[in-house]
Amino acid sequence: MSTTAVTVSTHTEVRTARVGLWPQDGRCRLELANGLVAPRVIRHDATTAEVSLVATTATLLGGDVLRLAVEVGPGLRLDLRDVAGTVAYHGRGLGCVVDVSLRVHEGATLTWAAEPLVVADGAEVTRQLRVDVAEGGRLLLRDQVALGRSGQDGGRLDCHTTMTYAGRPALVEHLEVRSGLAPGALGDARVVDSVTSLGWRPETPAGHTAYRLHEPGALSRQLLTQSHASTLPDLWDDWTSQLPPI
Amino acid sequence: MLPHPEFAAMLLADGRLPVGGHTQSAGLEPALLGGLEPRDIPDLITTRLRTVVLVDAGTAVVARHRTMAGLPLDDVQLAWAARTPSEVVRAASIAVGRGQRRLAQRLWPGSAAASALAPLRAPARPVAVGSMAAAAGLDGARTARLVAYDDVQSLCAAALKLCPLDPAETTEWLLHAGPGVEAVVVAVAHLTEPDGIPALSAPLLEQWQHAHPTHPRRLFSA
Amino acid sequence: MPDTTRETSRAFRLGVAGPVGTGKSSLIAMVCRELGDELQLGVITNDIYTDEDARMLRAAGVLDPDRIRAVETGACPHTAIRDDVSANLLAVEDLEADFAPLDLVMVESGGDNLTATFSPALVDAQVFVLDVAGGGDVVRKGGPGISRADLLVVNKTDLAPYVGVDADLMLREGQDARDGRPVIGLSRTDPDSVAELRAWVLAMVASHRDGHHVPVDPGPMAPHSHAGDGARAHSHVHDGGDGVHAH
């Protein structure tokens, strides 16, 4: 395996940004903590909450570790969104890490329409995405990664994704994103746009393609030269509307 | 008595092994229908060896280890399935996996491989190959080399049906894939746990293969 | 379900081979039309390109389209019915499992040449199809299918006057080449010939059901001896213990 060795500075304390939604006394309680991103509550009622993630710094520089842990308690629904995309800048020899963990408990729902992670020239990013959906839980996730700001070739990104459903592996992938890969990997694409459902398998509307995962779940992915060409926003809306109410 | 490991490896690597392999092109026909230029075929081999072949070879090595240890293969199959998100790609692998299991049960009845494969509803190709490799007495390195060689060999054989080529040229591709095959061997031969199976993906290959059944005129099933 | 225990739902498996354009698909459509009411049927096609024949058969409306499945042969139609029957065998077994119990599964070979015959590991009996338009001398050229298939069909006899072929002579030569094995001169405009084909298929299905039918391998190119050898060779397949070839 050709995993790139990434040097990460360890002198700064890594704070984990957290969003937790837990049942309490017939209502639900939000647990929030700031890290390199800060959660802001948009809406919060008896069983659901909507939270947006705001960057607290110029975001990802060499040596940065962006750590985010999200957990949705049994029977509740959390809708997460980003205020803006994230840019990983030239690391001046240092790599950076995005480490995200999502846990969805029994009967809970998590949706997250993530904005793009853009890997600028000279950036070396390792992204760890760990997703655990308990039996009867549901996830809907949009995930966009892009090579380079305009006019750039872009740096190097390694996405390590492990998703489990009911404790069983559902989607495990090491996706390499960089220029110059041999034919069959990304082609001319600079953008990899994906929507994943896990714990449920929505109907795929006409004009879209989705893989049926071995576990209940689906993955629709587009490889694009321009992110605005993506039709996944339509798919996102369609799949979101298929989520049963809590 | 076990055959000599070199002999066993040759037997299992024979392109004429009756497991249905001749019905598939190792992703080449889907790639050509998807727009791959024939001149890029050797580079496609490189991509496969770095990604999907690594997954399959790792799966086979772990299946071999599990079979030798008398352990069930379910979690190996699950680990493979989680690394193979397209149901079309999984089905193509399973089609040959079933043929492979049939042959394993015929050649080595009563073996650990026969009993490990029996309870699976439909084994993936690398799971069946790995288990069969255990029955044939192949070590982990030979098992990985078998999977990688077979993938390149299938692609080269299919290329002759799909493109105007001198057969000597595709044989040359196969020869030149040697170092890439050995890199696969080095990466996976030692594996014993399903979680350790590599997961490198080739998204475009996957899209081409997923679209294959929708093409009206095709020679190969995958 | 593992692939090893489907004995209860095993159909009579009939191969249909012969050169391109001789009317294999039409013959299968004819059997479907004639016997679809009394037998549970399934069809597997092997095409050069994917599913041309399967689509033609589905379009003919003679059988539930789900009971017609195509197998890709990787441009090796001969291999797929003889040297490596895995893909066809799985397709037959899946069909038998999905529509159990089936009485008859017909496997159509991809149109190949005079040398292509089915392996006994895939079918219980086979029909070899020629047509008068291919020329009166085809039968004399011979080949394992012509000499030793369970049934030789000389198709499109109604066209004989138009292509300058003596159909009766072709049939007589066929009989001479086949040591008494059956030959049918078939035309869809000749109800007697259709009835003859119908009766032959029904008799084979009944014989298979009673356990009387012993598959005979026409063998590869080199002609050797008679039915006894083929039957003995076939029993090897059964002794292998893979549990697929139930009776």
**Rounded (to 5) percent helix, strand, coil in chain C:** 45, 15, 40
Residue C230 located in a structural domain: no
Provide the residue range defining the domain that includes B108.
23-211
Lowest mean pLDDT among A108-112, A190-194, C58-62: C58-62
**At C229, is the pLDDT very low, low, confident or very high (cuts 50, 70, 90)?**
very low
Task: Tell whether residue C19 is among the known ligand binding residues.
Answer: yes
Q: What is the mean pLDDT of residues A162-183?
A: 97
* Per-residue pLDDT at C234: 35
Tokens (6 digits) for A168: 């069983």
B137/B8 Cα distance (integer angstroms)? 7
* Per-residue pLDDT at A13: 62
Domains contained in chain B, number: 1
* Per-residue pLDDT at A2: 41
pLDDT for B6-53, tens place per residue? 999 999 999 999 999 999 999 999 999 999 999 999 999 999 999 999
Q: What is the mean pLDDT of residues A30-46?
A: 95
For B194, which residue in chain A has the nearest alpha carbon?
A169
Å from C104 to nearest chain B CA?
Answer: 23
* Per-residue pLDDT at B217: 83
Tokens (6 digits) for C15: 């191969």
Count Cβ atoms within 10 A of the Cβ of residue A116 and give its class: 0-12 exposed, 13-18 middle, 19 or more buried: buried
Q: What's the one-letter identity of residue A235?
A: L
Residues 174-203 of A with CB under 8 A from B: 174-176, 181-187, 189, 192
Residue C2 has pLDDT above 80, yes or no: no
For B50, which residue in chain A has the nearest alpha carbon?
A1
Taking every pair of Cα atoms in chain B, the longest distance, rounded to a whole number of angstroms, is 49
Residue B131 located in a structural domain: yes
A213/A217 Cα distance (integer angstroms)? 5
Cβ neighbours around C239 below 10 Å, total: 9
Question: CATH no. for residue C35?
Answer: 3.40.50.300
C109/C19 Cα distance (integer angstroms)? 9
Considering only CB atoms, which chain A residues are within 8 Å of B85?
Answer: 171, 173, 211, 213, 219
Question: Which has more pLDDT, C51 or A33?
Answer: A33
* Helix (H) / strand (E) containing B210: helix B203-211
A4/C217 Cα distance (integer angstroms)? 58
pLDDT for A62-121, tens place per residue? 999 999 999 999 999 999 999 889 999 999 999 999 999 999 999 999 999 999 999 999
**At B2, is the pLDDT very low, low, confident or very high (cuts 50, 70, 90)?**
confident
* Per-residue pLDDT at C3: 55
**B interface with C, Cβ–Cβ below 8 Å:** 16-25, 95-96, 98-99, 101-102, 105-106, 109, 118-122, 158, 161, 215-221
Residue C50 located in a structural domain: yes
- In this structure, the dihedral spanned by the alpha carbons of residues B180, B182, B187 and B188, taken in order and rounded to 10 degrees, is 120
* Per-residue pLDDT at C216: 80
* Per-residue pLDDT at C141: 81
Lowest mean pLDDT among B29-43, B173-187, C167-181: C167-181
Provide the residue range defining the domain that includes C166.
10-215
SS3 A154: coil
What is the interface pTM, i.e. ipTM, of the complex? Answer: 0.96
Considering only CB atoms, which chain A residues are within 8 Å of B86?
Answer: 211
- In this structure, the dihedral spanned by the alpha carbons of residues C135, C139, C143 and C145, taken in order and rounded to 10 degrees, is 100
Residue A142 has pLDDT above 80, yes or no: yes
**Nearest by CB: B200 against A163, A174, A189:** A174
Domains contained in chain C, number: 1
**At C135, is the pLDDT very low, low, confident or very high (cuts 50, 70, 90)?**
confident
Tokens (6 digits) for A72: 């949705």
Residue C227 located in a structural domain: no
Considering only CB atoms, which chain A residues are within 8 Å of B87?
Answer: 211-212, 214
C245/C4 Cα distance (integer angstroms)? 9
* Per-residue pLDDT at B16: 93
Residue B184 located in a structural domain: yes
Question: CATH no. for residue B146?
Answer: 1.10.4190.10
Sorted by sequence, the CB contacts under 8 Å of residue C227 that are 6+ apart come out as C214, C216
* Per-residue pLDDT at C214: 79
Residue B44 located in a structural domain: yes
Task: Tell whether residue C157 is among the known ligand binding residues.
Answer: no
Task: Tell whether residue C18 is among the known ligand binding residues.
Answer: yes
Q: Which of B23, B24, B117 should be substituted to probe chain C, the one whose Cβ sees the most C Cβ atoms within 10 Å?
A: B23
